[in-house]
């Protein structure tokens, strides 16, 4: 018995020793990295808090545990340390609107890589791959390309949105406009990517499962950014297990399966010379028949492209529409000015629907959209860029090649130097001949060779939706238990969100003879 006890203790001691040895290795490794980050890193000499320079856990704490709050810490750093600060072991933040075009520059100026926040779990292309993949997409999403989508996609979808909302007139039902706009933008992107798909606007409640799924993914982004290896684990989980754990994810998987079939059909038609001759093919069909090399046309890669477009192209535009609609409904003067401007151009709706090119000539509607994009930020998070070949000189600071540098649309858009009373929603600031500082600081779609490819489509969606819904005789919306705190963006989860306990952008729709 004693021998057994001694043997057990001996085995236990081995495990304890092994554990202590592993702990020692981890400690030494961590100390080495802290010392390197503080004293030997290429950006060791840049200003900023030493704790943030030493470890990425500072950013993770504020973004994950304090739910997207690191942007406000960065704002404090700039106030304390100046226009350029080191915000984590690898990255610099720069806040100087006059230097924005140097960081987010055009292709002819220098090569620019994206900085991969997510490690190796998600594909982020370098300069050459990005240029190769983006080039065939640019004509599709150009202003001319989006105009070709108006009748086949945009007019039909915005008309369906308006009919769904008009049908609720006088019922007393409380309507979540944030659900409705997410369904609208999701349907637009879905039809753009592959013509035939289930429509979110057909759902009686405007597909709340779709809204909740996208927002749950957004709220998970700080976890994936801080611990990117989790993405690799998630990618290994069978789809059946994912849908069992979260039934909402079934729709995303169904969309993936639909895009896969659509791509396979397009590739088969190309092979047999039976391609569709429609005036504006789906994006995936267009890519299959483009000049991209075959290595870029795998079903897996194109399907990923469609999934990214569906997620990214849905949330930001829908959130901006929520934001603008709140201020229209909360301010009768704004609503009256808008309806007066829309009176003539929308007089023959729905028999004649103006194009977004016609609508963008309306100064007040344009000012509303600009102010909505300014304060909804588009993408609140800094989007770092990397100069892989040459150093960037900012004043006395030389930023070495390969160092990511980011600038935040939030800091640009609430800069009191450019915008008087910057947190006030004031579309009149854009009317007449506004200060050039407004345009200088205005970057909802970023700039340069990696600016938002879908911005023309986003503008078209917003112009058409606002014109149709707020024309004289349109749905008679009334806010329902919704205030400014339900729409102001306060959490930076890469994409911004309002307070997490908000019940959403809620309205009722009264009949026009109802007081």
In the chain, the N- to C-terminal Cα span, in Å, equals 90
Q: How far apart are the C-alpha atoms of 110 and 104, rounded to whole Å? A: 10
CA nearest neighbour of 308 among 239, 217, 385, 234:
217
> Environment class of residue 271 by beta-carbon count within 10 Å: exposed (0-12), middle (13-18) or buried (19+)?
exposed
Q: Is 193 marked as binding a ligand? A: no
Output the CA torsion sign for 90, 96, 97, 102: negative
Q: How far apart are CA 461 and CA 320, in angstroms?
A: 11
Residues sharing a CB contact under 8 Å with residue 204, sequence separation 6 or more, in sequence order: none
Instruction: State how far the Cα of 505 lies from the Cα of 484, in Å rounded to an integer.
Output: 10
Residue 8's Cβ-side half-sphere holds a number of Cα atoms within 13 Å equal to: 5
User: Which stretches within 377-419 are classed as H helix?
Assistant: 409-413
* Nearest by Cα to 448 from 122, 142, 111, 136: 111
Rounded-to-integer distance, Cα 351 and Cα 155, Å:
11
Ranges assigned E (strand) in 133-264: 175-176
Contact 383, 410 (CB under 8 A): no
Report the alpha-carbon distance of residue 201 to residue 367 in Å, rounded: 28
CB of 398 closer than 8 Å to CB of 469? no
For the stretch 274-278, contacts whose Cβ atoms lie closer than 8 Å and that sit 24 or more positions apart, written own/partner, are 278/152
Q: Using the 8-state DSSP alphabet, how is residue 508 labeled? A: E
Question: 12-21: long-range contacts at Cβ-Cβ below 8 A with a sequence spacing of 24 or more?
Answer: none
Q: Are 402 and 386 in contact (CB under 8 A)?
A: yes
CB atoms within 10 A of CB 235: 9
**Alpha helices (H) in 331-381, listed in sequence order:** 332-342, 356-359, 363-376
Burial 465-497 (b: 16+ CB within 10 A, else e): bbbbbbbeebbbbebbebeeebbbbbbbbbbbb
> Distance (Å, rounded) from C-alpha 299 to C-alpha 303?
6
- Contact between 441 and 418 (Cβ < 8 Å): yes
Which residues have CB under 8 Å from 334's CB, separation 6+? 327, 328, 368, 427
Binding residues: 452
Binding residues for heme: 452
């Amino acid at each position: 018995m004693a021998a057994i006890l001694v043997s057990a203790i001996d085995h236990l001691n081995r495990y304890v020793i092994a554990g202590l040895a592993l702990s020692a290795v981890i400690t030494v490794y961590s100390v080495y990295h802290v010392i390197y980050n503080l004293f030997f890193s290429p950006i060791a000499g840049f200003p900023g808090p030493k704790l943030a320079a030493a470890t990425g856990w500072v950013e993770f704490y504020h973004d994950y545990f304090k739910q997207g709050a690191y942007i406000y810490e960065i704002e404090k750093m700039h106030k304390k340390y100046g226009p350029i600060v080191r915000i984590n072991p690898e990255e610099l933040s720069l806040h100087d609107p006059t230097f924005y075009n140097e960081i987010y520059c055009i292709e002819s100026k220098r090569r620019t890589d994206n900085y991969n926040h997510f490690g190796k779990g998600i594909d982020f292309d370098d300069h050459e791959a990005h240029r190769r993949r983006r080039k065939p997409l640019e004509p599709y999403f150009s202003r001319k390309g989006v105009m070709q989508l108006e009748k086949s996609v945009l007019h039909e979808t915005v008309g369906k949105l308006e009919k769904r909302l008009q049908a609720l007139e006088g019922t007393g039902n409380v309507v979540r406009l944030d659900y409705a706009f997410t369904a609208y933008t999701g349907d637009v992107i879905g039809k753009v990517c592959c013509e035939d798909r289930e429509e979110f606007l057909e759902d009686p409640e405007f597909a709340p499962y779709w809204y909740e799924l996208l927002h749950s993914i957004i709220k998970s982004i700080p976890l994936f950014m801080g611990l990117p290896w989790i993405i690799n684990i998630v990618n290994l989980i069978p789809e059946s297990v994912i849908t069992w754990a979260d039934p909402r994810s079934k729709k995303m998987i169904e969309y993936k399966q639909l895009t896969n079939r659509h791509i396979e059909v397009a590739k088969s038609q190309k092979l047999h010379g039976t391609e569709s001759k429609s005036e504006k093919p789906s994006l995936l069909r267009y890519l299959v028949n483009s000049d991209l090399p075959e290595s870029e046309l795998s079903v897996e890669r194109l399907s990923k492209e469609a999934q990214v477009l569906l997620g990214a192209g849905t949330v930001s535009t829908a959130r901006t529409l929520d934001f603008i609609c709140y201020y229209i409904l909360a301010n009768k003067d704004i609503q009256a000015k808008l309806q007066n401007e829309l009176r003539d151009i929308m007089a023959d709706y729905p028999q004649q629907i103006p194009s977004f090119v016609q609508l963008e000539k309306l100064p007040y509607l344009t000012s509303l959209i600009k102010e909505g994009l300014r304060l909804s930020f588009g993408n609140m998070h800094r989007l770092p860029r990397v100069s892989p070949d040459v150093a960037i000189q900012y004043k006395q600071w030389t930023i070495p090649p390969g160092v990511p540098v980011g600038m935040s649309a939030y800091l640009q858009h609430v800069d009191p130097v450019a915008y008087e009373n910057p947190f006030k929603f004031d579309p009149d600031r854009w009317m007449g001949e506004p200060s050039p500082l407004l345009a200088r600081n205005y970057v909802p779609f970023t700039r340069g060779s990696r600016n938002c490819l879908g911005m023309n489509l986003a503008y078209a969606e917003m112009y058409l939706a606002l014109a149709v819904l707020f024309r004289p005789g349109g749905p008679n919306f009334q806010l329902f238990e919704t205030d400014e705190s339900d729409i102001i963006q306060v959490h930076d989860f890469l994409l911004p969100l309002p307070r997490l306990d908000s019940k959403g952008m809620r309205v009722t729709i009264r009949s026009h003879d109802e007081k």
